[in-house]
Amino acid sequence: MGHDQTLYVSQEHLDIALNHTKLGFWELELENPRMICTPQCKINIGAGEKPTVSYEDLINAIIPEDREKMQADVALALLPGGGTYNSQYRVIHPDGSLHWIEANGKVLYQNEKPYRMVGTTLDITAKKDMEMLKDELLSFTTHELKTPVTVIRGYLQILYTFIEKTGNTRFADISKKSLDATERMTRLLKEIADPEYRKEIRLFCKNSSLTFVRF
């Protein structure tokens, strides 16, 4: 197989991979600023029908609540010691649907000055929807468990107080351990209900290989 044919096959494989992942590419000239987007990149930000996309078009495509954060992420990448761009923002597509976009990139330098940014865009709406669903399910589950656990803890407290008065140390110890277990469960439910704790769980699951065993 000749060099040109090998290159052609590799390009075909790359095109298939990019189409499957819906990964878009962009370049931004910092002085103009002039922006170049691949067709998939334009689709991702809701500008698929436009022949060209400017940096201003991108900013306008982002919902107002996320624009300042996105521009701050760009500014952070351009600071000395930066060089890496990472941002997530929401855009409205022409059909009115809301989409989450993850944008990543790097800053290119010329004579030690930033002159261009290159990077990718990826539609992560499905991932965000799943995270939201998990949070809602977790919140509902913890809410439903709080009441019965509180009731059980109350009865165990009464039982422990009663048994302790009888002088039966063995049963008092058993009831005390049961009461301590419900206290730990109550604290755990409070932690799980905390949004910051749920973020830590998602980060742990993302960075860990978990195996579930059915009993």
CATH of the domain at 95: 3.30.450.20
Does residue 88 sit in the same domain as residue 160? no
Answer yes or no: is 104 within a domain: yes
Does residue 25 sit in the same domain as residue 104? yes
Does residue 87 sit in the same domain as residue 147? no
Query: Tokens 């919902």 sit at which residue?
Result: 63
pLDDT of residue 149: 80
Answer yes or no: is 157 within a domain: yes
Does residue 13 sit in the same domain as residue 118? yes
Strand duo 34-37 + 23-29: pairing: antiparallel
Last residue of a domain, one of 75, 91, 123: 123
Answer yes or no: is 212 within a domain: no
Answer yes or no: is 99 within a domain: yes
**Which DSSP letter does residue 194 get?**
S
Query: Domain residues for 39?
Result: 3-123
CA angle 195, 196, 198 (to 5 degrees): 65
pLDDT of residue 211: 47
Answer yes or no: is 96 within a domain: yes
Given a contact cutoff of 8 angstroms between Cβ atoms, the answer to whether 33 and 55 are in contact is yes
Hey, which residues does 113 pair with through a beta bridge? Answer: 110
pLDDT of residue 172: 84
Answer yes or no: is 167 within a domain: yes
Does residue 96 sit in the same domain as residue 155? no
Encoded tokens for 161:
């107080």
Does residue 133 sit in the same domain as residue 162? yes
**What single-letter amino acid sits at 110?**
Q
Encoded tokens for 132:
């939201």
Does residue 100 sit in the same domain as residue 176? no
Last residue of a domain, one of 123, 141, 163: 123
Does residue 71 sit in the same domain as residue 49? yes
Answer yes or no: is 215 within a domain: no
Provide the domain count of the chain. 2
Does residue 55 sit in the same domain as residue 145? no
Does residue 116 sit in the same domain as residue 137? no
Does residue 31 sit in the same domain as residue 75? yes
Does residue 153 sit in the same domain as residue 109? no
Per-residue tens of pLDDT for the chain, all 215 residues: 555 555 555 666 666 666 667 899 999 999 888 899 999 999 999 998 888 999 999 999 999 999 999 999 999 999 988 899 999 999 999 999 999 999 999 999 998 899 999 999 999 999 988 887 777 777 777 777 777 888 888 888 888 888 888 888 888 888 888 888 888 888 887 777 666 655 555 555 555 544 444 43
Last residue of a domain, one of 72, 99, 123: 123
Strand duo 98-110 + 23-29: pairing: unpaired
pLDDT of residue 215: 33
